[in-house]
Amino acid sequence: MHIPDGFLDAKTWLGATALSGAALYYALKKTQERWEDRQLPALGTMAAFIFAAQMVNFPVGGGTSGHLLGAALATFFLGPWGANVVLTTVLIIQALLFADGGITALGANVLNMAVIGPWVAQGVYSLVGYRNLGGTFLAAWLSIVAAALACSLELAFSGIVPLRLVVPAMLGWHSLIGIGEGLITCGVVIFLKRIGMVPFETLSLEVQKR
């Protein structure tokens, strides 16, 4: 899903960069307002975990593989703004150090995976809560599908491939990848909760009480 350089025209990658830049600015502001110093290491820990987890691919079929995006996972524990900061950091490191996604396309990749993904997941959590594993699976699956759809639209708007071809292809494969995303997310959520990490919902209530 990482778009390389040369796949987006100027109007698309500039527009996506403006949107993702505005979202990151506001995310940093909201994160500083909400999080205390003692909670900030959780951002770094989650970023390191997602970065490492994205290095591990799982087979999907037809020679295709997927890897954890982590949007629903980060949103579960950090909220959508914290997830935006964490995933943006991961994507920047991947683009600069590993050429995983282009530099000009970085804004689009951030928009798809670090903005749209977390907010779709947050929408599911808002509807079903944080205690339902089925909801966690759905949040993870939908975050993948929504990010893939946004990527498809950007490629189509840039004239790289017709919309009627890219949308079914991207959504078809990423619907399968989303299953892996959902299973991994549920497993990690169970583990992290057992070792004492609290969901964003609980953290928000603690902040409101102060």
What CATH number is given to the structural domain containing 28? 1.10.1760.20
Phi and psi for 101 in degrees, rounded to 5? 100, 140
Q: Supply the pLDDT for residue 208.
A: 46
Provide the angle, in degrees to the nearest 10, between the axes of the packed helices 200-209 and 71-98: 110
Assigned domain for 112 exists: yes
Assigned domain for 173 exists: yes
Are 73 and 50 in contact by the 8 Å Cβ rule? The answer is: yes
Which domain covers residue 120, as residue numbers? 10-209
**Residue found by looking up tokens 């500039």 in the block:** 14
Assigned domain for 4 exists: no
Assigned domain for 171 exists: yes
Q: Supply the pLDDT for residue 99.
A: 87
Q: Return the sign of the alpha-carbon dihedral for residues 7, 59, 139, 85.
A: negative
Q: Supply the pLDDT for residue 124.
A: 97
Assigned domain for 22 exists: yes
Assigned domain for 43 exists: yes
Name which of 89, 81, 92 is nearest 118 in CA terms: 81
pLDDT by 10s per residue, the chain, length 210? 789 999 999 999 999 999 999 999 999 998 887 766 556 777 888 889 898 888 877 666 555 557 789 999 999 999 999 999 999 999 999 999 988 889 999 999 999 999 999 999 999 999 998 889 999 999 999 999 999 999 999 999 999 899 999 999 999 989 999 999 999 999 999 999 998 888 888 766 555 444
Q: What is the pTM of this model?
A: 0.91
Determine the Cα–Cα distance for residues 22 and 34; give it in Å rounded to an integer.
18
Domain count, the chain: 1
Assigned domain for 189 exists: yes
Q: Where are the alpha helices (DSSP H) in 54-162?
A: 71-98, 106-110, 117-128, 133-157
Q: Supply the pLDDT for residue 120.
A: 98
Are 25 and 116 in contact by the 8 Å Cβ rule? The answer is: no
Q: Supply the pLDDT for residue 206.
A: 52
